[in-house]
Amino acid sequence: MRGEGVAIQSLLMRTFVPAVTVMAIIMAMLVYGRVYAIILDGFDRKLVITSTLTGALIDPVDHENLAAIARRGVQDTAVGRSAEYLRNVQPMRKIRNQLQLTYLYTQVFGRTQDIAYILDSNIDKEHSSLGSEDNLPKGTLGDLRAAITAGRVHVSPIEYQQQWGLLKTATAPMRTSQGQIAAMAGADVNISVIRVATQNALFASALIGIISLVICTLVVLVIVSRVARPIERLKLEALRIATGDHARPDHLTGPREVTKLRDALFGISLKMRSKLLAAQEASARHEQKNARQLLEDALVSDGTSPVTLVDNDALLVIWLGSTEERLDQMLHRRAMIALARRIEQTPTLSVAWEMLADGAHGGILVLDRQALSLHLKGEAIVSIHVGGEDGTDVPMRPGQKITLTGNEDLCLTDGAIPLKWRPGA
């Protein structure tokens, strides 16, 4: 129902569960970001070490001879089967296979394009023959020249190369037998390899997030149980006190504040019980006094004159009691006097006069000023004087109805009370 609010346990769950979910997602994202950075750093280290060691393993004399052939623009496939080529490229093939690299090669700066390949460990369709040239992504050539000139290993970000796709590359300088930098050893890994590793990292992050969410949810349930259950018990105790049961509350296990609140509720209950007993005693004394006063007032005669209940443009309603000085008759008359006062104070009650008036212990004379009729209800027998001094007395019995012309002078024979056609006339 509207207005009842939300239970404390539901409120705590609505507050904590979204917070825990958000925290679990944030934790999973942080873990994923950290693991992804570690994965990339691992690939960087792997590529740097592999390219550096590859450059150190190659015979510089053999490589200088092969590079000299490549500079002349010769692309003879027979060179790729020569002893100089094979004794240097075979160790590179083993390294590439064992380390699961995509490409492992050596290169020099090209004549017509950015670079020219010398040794290539690939033996499939992606093998680059001796002297074949290639262009690097825009901006990479300048960074590569600067790194090689400084004798540093150049590590590229994941970048797209038109011929080879998305790659991450490390290029280490290679020195000649005289110690000069004359070539470069490159190690590449395709994005698909990195993607597999990152997917594993994503799965691990999601798993960590789910485990964190489950653990945090269990912790929240325990916290909610420890917090909400004592509060719910206090609520039930407060409702019990509100129903009038002022017994001592049951022992509650919970925080210190809950215990203090329970004791405070018990103190309030004792005060309420004390005040309730005092109020009941005062009410009982007041009722006894009122009853005694009412009886004393009822025993005092108010006379036998009729009581006008309703007097408006439409109706004139008069209650006629017995003239006997009996206690019950005086009480009925008292009630009709109180009713007349109440109708006078609240005119809207006049429409319900038949329900409120006591017709069983007297007569009710009803003058309908609009229908031009005079009707007697109840148990009394009355006499109506019609006309002035020369008029006649008309006896009326209960249920009798007289039709009028509107010009008659009417009054009750007993007491000669005029029945006015208009209020105040």
Mean pLDDT in residue range 231-253: 68
Regarding whether 172 and 96 lie in a shared domain, the answer is yes
Regarding whether 124 and 22 lie in a shared domain, the answer is yes
360 within a domain of the structure (yes/no):
yes
395 within a domain of the structure (yes/no):
yes
Regarding whether 93 and 122 lie in a shared domain, the answer is yes
Decide if pLDDT at 2 tops 70.
no
63 within a domain of the structure (yes/no):
yes
Alpha-carbon distances, residue 236 vs 2, 231, 241, 257 (angstroms): 20, 9, 9, 17
- Exposure letters 76-106 (e unless 16+ CB within 10 A, then b): eeebbeeebbeebbeebbebbeeeebbbbbb
- Give the domain-ending residue among 262, 278, 298: 298
Sheet containing 315-320, strands listed edge to edge, beginning at the edge strand earlier in sequence:
307-311, 315-320, 363-368, 373-378, 401-403
Boundaries of domain holding 294: 244-298
Regarding whether 76 and 193 lie in a shared domain, the answer is yes
Whole-number Å distance between alpha carbons of 71 and 108 = 9
215 within a domain of the structure (yes/no):
no
What pLDDT shows up at residue 164? 76
Decide if pLDDT at 318 tops 80.
yes
236 within a domain of the structure (yes/no):
no
- Token pair listed for 222: 């325990």
Regarding whether 157 and 21 lie in a shared domain, the answer is yes
Answer yes or no: are the C-beta atoms of 337 and 306 closer than 8 Å: no
What pLDDT shows up at residue 301? 46
Regarding whether 414 and 315 lie in a shared domain, the answer is yes
- Token pair listed for 37: 């950075």
Please tell me the total count of domains within the chain. Answer: 3
Per-residue pLDDT band at 1 (split at 50, 70, 90): very low
Decide if pLDDT at 236 tops 50.
yes
**pLDDT tens column, 173-214:** 998 888 888 899 989 887 776 676 667 766 776 777 777 777
265 within a domain of the structure (yes/no):
yes
234 within a domain of the structure (yes/no):
no
- Give the domain-ending residue among 260, 275, 298: 298
- Give the domain-ending residue among 261, 281, 298: 298
Regarding whether 97 and 24 lie in a shared domain, the answer is yes
3-state class of 163 per DSSP?
coil
Regarding whether 188 and 40 lie in a shared domain, the answer is yes
Per-residue pLDDT band at 78 (split at 50, 70, 90): low
Regarding whether 263 and 395 lie in a shared domain, the answer is no
**pLDDT tens column, 280-316:** 888 877 777 766 565 555 444 455 568 888 888 888 8
Whole-number Å distance between alpha carbons of 410 and 229 = 79
216 within a domain of the structure (yes/no):
no
Mean pLDDT in residue range 152-175: 83
Of 71-80, 143-152, 229-238, which one has max mean pLDDT? 143-152
- Token pair listed for 332: 């009925």
- Token pair listed for 294: 């009412």
Regarding whether 342 and 294 lie in a shared domain, the answer is no
Q: Which residue has the higher pLDDT, 36 or 2?
A: 36
**pLDDT tens column, 115-129:** 888 899 888 888 888
What is the average pLDDT value for the chain, to the nearest integer? 78
What pLDDT shows up at residue 3? 47
Regarding whether 343 and 292 lie in a shared domain, the answer is no
What pLDDT shows up at residue 201? 67
* Sequential DSSP letters for 206-224: HHHHHHHHHHHHHHHHHHH
What pLDDT shows up at residue 330? 77
Mean pLDDT in residue range 150-156: 88
3-state class of 114 per DSSP?
coil
Decide if pLDDT at 252 tops 50.
yes
Decide if pLDDT at 255 tops 50.
yes
Mean pLDDT in residue range 240-260: 66
**pLDDT tens column, 101-113:** 888 999 898 888 8
Which of 7-16, 23-32, 48-57 is the least confident region? 7-16
What pLDDT shows up at residue 35? 75
Regarding whether 343 and 293 lie in a shared domain, the answer is no
What pLDDT shows up at residue 249? 64
Mean pLDDT in residue range 232-252: 68
Whole-number Å distance between alpha carbons of 365 and 395 = 12
Per-residue pLDDT band at 403 (split at 50, 70, 90): confident
